[in-house]
A and B are shown apart, each in its own frame.
Chain A
Amino acid sequence: MECSFALTGKDYVIIAADTTAARSIVKMKVDEDKIKTLSPHLLMAYSGESGDTIQFAEFIERNIRLYHIRNLYPLRPQSAASWIRRSLAESLRSRSPYTVNLLIGGFDTADESPHLYWVDYLGTMASVPFAAHGYGSYFALGLLDRYHNPDGSLEEGLDVLRRAINETAQRLVVAPGNYIVKVVDKDGTREIKL
């Protein structure tokens, strides 16, 4: 089943999402990238109803891009997250709501600080030091409570992420096999091999 994790550290945010695209009990694809790079310093992991996820993520991606083109500078993470949340909140009370859960991680180049937001399909948004969506959260959040260090180095952050992923692999019956891990810091976004 779908799992995504994220955590902040000293000047960075790590986001990990599994790579399976499933329909019912069948795996349709095992190398799907479910973390979009919305702007040079902004990442968004998405999960939920299969049609909704891509449709919504691309809508967000194009509009964040449009803002960047029009204004020559991108939205800051706080503003981007707030706008994305509003999109979901408005969708919730529309005729066909998007069932999409998000982890939005960004690095604010203006004040050099990492930001992570937990957002669910209702439009609930929380600014958090670490977060998870899906069944993996039942295993990850406890470990993150215990081991997360907000001032940790990138290596330390990746070690904590490994703990969360390993525990999920060991204890969750329907654990995903593969994850894509991305990092955002002052140098922008990049993918990392765990």
Chain B
Amino acid sequence: MPDMSAIANPQQRQFNPYAENGGTILAVAGADFTVIAGDTRQSEGYSIQTRYASKVFRLTDRAVLAVNGFAADGNMFVKKVKQRLEWYRHNHAKDMPLRSIARLIQTMLYAQRFFPYYVYNILGGIEEDGTGAVYSFDPVGSYEREACRAAGAAQSLLQPFLDNQIYFKNQTAARGYSHPAHLPLPDVLSIVIDSFTSATERHIEVGDGLEMYIVMAKGQTLPDAVTNLLPEELPSTGDGERVFVLKRDLKKD
């Protein structure tokens, strides 16, 4: 006699391969620099797993990638992108250009179309023509180049603020004047810090720490106002683009 109770009382079990680890990321492109930032809180539900987990990673001397969403997928994805960039370096004896990294990321994300990396990516850095650039992606690889983008838990809080402060949306320039196409670095850093303090205030998944990566175009130096903030310079391979990191504390409650 077979076990009838198993037939009479069917049970379903489901393994959920994804989690959502909160946090938020943000990037702004300037004329000859790019700022890529992310908070360092990693949470699951109401629990904080760690107060310091980086979401922003340097890929090359001129490319920085921020990943947000499911942390395990994010870390794995960064690892694989870095591996592909290393192979490229071995094959071509140079770093992959930013726009090519963007296309590579699309290909890698779309390769997982039916079991996606559950991450939103923002790639920031310097293009070959020396301009600052931000590329934003969805989990399956749709991407576009923009001047600024927020993603993650507090995207809805930050993006309209950036529309207003970076793109000057809903603001009319005084007669005879026009809004600048790109803001200077100290202004961008102020807006980024304000954005994260706001998000920390109103979103429980954002806080603890803030990491801001600054990528400067070749030959560009940091303005004094930024040098005074004592950013750490990451070692670079040549005399090209330079990457700096600025860290700030955010509220921990």
| A and B touch in their complex, CB below 8 angstroms | no
